[in-house]
A and B are shown apart, each in its own frame.
Chain A
Amino acid sequence: MRTRDAHELFTRLLIECEPQLLRFVLVVIPHRSDARDILQECSVALWRRFSDYDPERPFVNWAMGFAKIEIRRFLRKTQRRTQLTSQAAELLLQDNQAHTANLDEREHHLKFCLETLSGDHRELLDSYYYNELSVGELSERDGRSKEAVYKMLQRIRHALHQCIETNMRGVEA
């Protein structure tokens, strides 16, 4: 493959699978900024090894192998006290793969469960996740204590979790 063709193909494939890769990393490295750093490192590693990529295979599966390596490298390098141990992270990566179908289906239900939230709750989630406002910033904006905002977020996520569980039971029973 000519270099320019490879460049173009790589760019297209990377952009297409970026959201899936980011979600994959965020499961084990929940801090968004860290996860994006890992994704950047992963992008560079993927490009370096792109000549090894078999276009007949799904790019995203190939890319996830690199993401795992970068996650392990990150955990070894940073060793923060507030991050999971490498062993715990490794087990989560394994189980994540083992439960792929089930967990993918949960994401499918999540989209519907989000529609059941009230306008206020949806707005709070959007502000926290999409606009990346911190709990402190939300607290200041809404004139509520940090604790109240945090509890509200927990309650919304618990409701989403329950909604997904209910839908999954309906589907799997």
Chain B
Amino acid sequence: MNDHDWESLIGRHLDGVASPEDVAELSRQIESDPDTRLLYLKLARVHATLSAAESDEPSVTTEAESRVLELLERHDSADRGRQRFRRLATVSIAVVVLVTAAYSLRPRDEPQIVRITGLSGSLSWTGGGGRVVGDLGVGTELAGGTVEGRSPNSWIELEFLDGSTVMLSGTNSMLTFSDHGQKKLQLKEGTFSADVNPQPQGRPMIVQTRTAMLEVLGTQFNVDASLYSTTLNVSEGTVRVNRLSDDKQVIVASGYRAVVVPDHEISLTLIPDSVSQWKSQLHLGESAHRLGRWSPGMDQKGAELGTVPYFIKESGKTIYAVGFGVSCGDRNPVVLQTDSKLRIRGRIESSHRVWFGITVRQANGDFAGKFETIRPAREFQDGQDFEFVLELGDLRLDPSLRHMQSKLPGDPFGLTLESTWCHSLYDSVGLAIFEIELISPRE
């Protein structure tokens, strides 16, 4: 038999229509030939992914009991009255009892105050008593605690009980939240945006960064916080900003930006016009808006940003990544045009496929998706510098966002470029970036 015949036989086996003789022949071939095993695995993975597709949809409810019951109903319909039902039901009841116990015994002293309405990348939540939960999903309800981005492309959206939503993204992002009659949030680092419904009289939402405290009554805004500064853009309504170091206050109205840094007057300006070009400018030194191992220029070489490892606990994978914040801090928002391209220069010690991606947001700060592409190993030479231009139209929506594909734009054009990143998977391949530049040929 040739490959095509084996493919056909494997297909019949996966569909459950192969004869016992066929399956016996297939088993013998699998036992003796590694190539057939690989072919089988390739085809079986497709079958498994398609068969389990229904389970890929993230749970939209945290009621695990109903989730499992739903699963069991599917089992029942799939079984269609088979004799195995009784045994399955017995096992199912055991699982339901476990799950019911879990939820009926949930701690009552930790009320759930937010629900996860969107996420991607690796994130964790730390609750009362220091309990760390890394396996978060859409629909999960959380008590007050801290969410932390653990990969360069982490992003999460939380919805409070009153419908107010907050989003957190960015390298090393960390947000602590609570709601004991008044929503209080602490943004240690990262990019944060919010769409806040009117809050109770005298109890505005409080957002505290290292340098400022923001009082929000009902508005739409985004904040970028780093070690030394806080930048606030207000899209709707007003926000009162209080600088922590000297208690100075300003009211920031819709369409305005405030930049708070110690020892300088609070800057209050119109939100600057967008631009369509950007350069990483590594030669200017280290920056809180980058992720990676920065090295200054030596000899004839310019500065570079080398990858750092991120272990994604949920999947057991390690990526080696660098990331660049683009429309962050007090910079102009960078908007992607239909002819925008990314020119990337760097070096790799060992040729390997590399993922390149961007995170984009709407003008009001709302998350608008992550788009990525994989560049093949053949485009890189061992120990050599590389340079290429990436057409933004070639980028595809990150598959991890498939569950919210219908809510996100189909391409990144016209959106604000929040960050760009690249990484290798599993292997540290000595990847370093010298420069990333967003070019727009029309300008």
- Using CB atoms and an 8 Å cutoff, list the residues of chain A in contact with chain B: 3-5, 7-13, 15-19, 22-24, 26-28, 30-33, 35-37, 40-41, 43-44, 47, 55, 58-61, 81-85, 87-88, 91-92, 95-96, 99, 101, 103, 106-108, 110-112, 125, 129-130, 132, 135, 150, 153-154, 157-158, 160-161, 164, 170-173
Interface size on B, residues (CB 8 A): 84
Q: Smallest CB-CB separation from A23: which chain B residue?
A: B48
Interface SS of B by simple majority: helix
Q: How far is the CA of A8 from the CA of B393 in the complex (A)?
A: 43
B30 touches A91 (CB 8 A): yes
Residues in chain B near residue A11, CB distance under 8 A: 64, 98-99, 102-103
How near does chain A come to B201, taking the closest CB pair, in angstroms? 36
Residues in chain B near residue A15, CB distance under 8 A: 59, 64, 67-68, 137
B51 touches A32 (CB 8 A): yes
B316 touches A58 (CB 8 A): yes
A7 touches B101 (CB 8 A): yes
B15, B19, B425: most-surrounded residue (chain A CB, <10 A): B15
Q: How far is the CA of A26 from the CA of B101 in the complex (A)?
A: 29
B84-92, B212-220, B250-258: which lies at the interface: B84-92
Return the CB mask of B128-162 against A: 1 if under 8 Å, else 0. 00011101010010000000000000000000000
Interface SS of A by simple majority: helix
Q: How far is the CA of A108 from the CA of B398 in the complex (A)?
A: 10
Residues in chain B near residue A99, CB distance under 8 A: 38, 41
Q: Smallest CB-CB separation from B137: which chain A residue?
A: A16
A7 touches B98 (CB 8 A): yes
B20-28, B179-187, B288-296: which lies at the interface: B20-28
A-B contact pairs, 21 of them (CB 8 A): A9-B133, A11-B98, A15-B59, A22-B55, A23-B52, A27-B41, A30-B15, A40-B88, A81-B24, A84-B26, A88-B30, A99-B41, A106-B46, A107-B49, A110-B46, A111-B402, A135-B15, A150-B17, A157-B43, A161-B42, A173-B376
Residues in chain B near residue A101, CB distance under 8 A: 425-426
A44: contacting residue among B79, B95, B396, CB under 8 A: B95
B40 touches A92 (CB 8 A): yes
Q: How far is the CA of A131 from the CA of B20 in the complex (A)?
A: 27
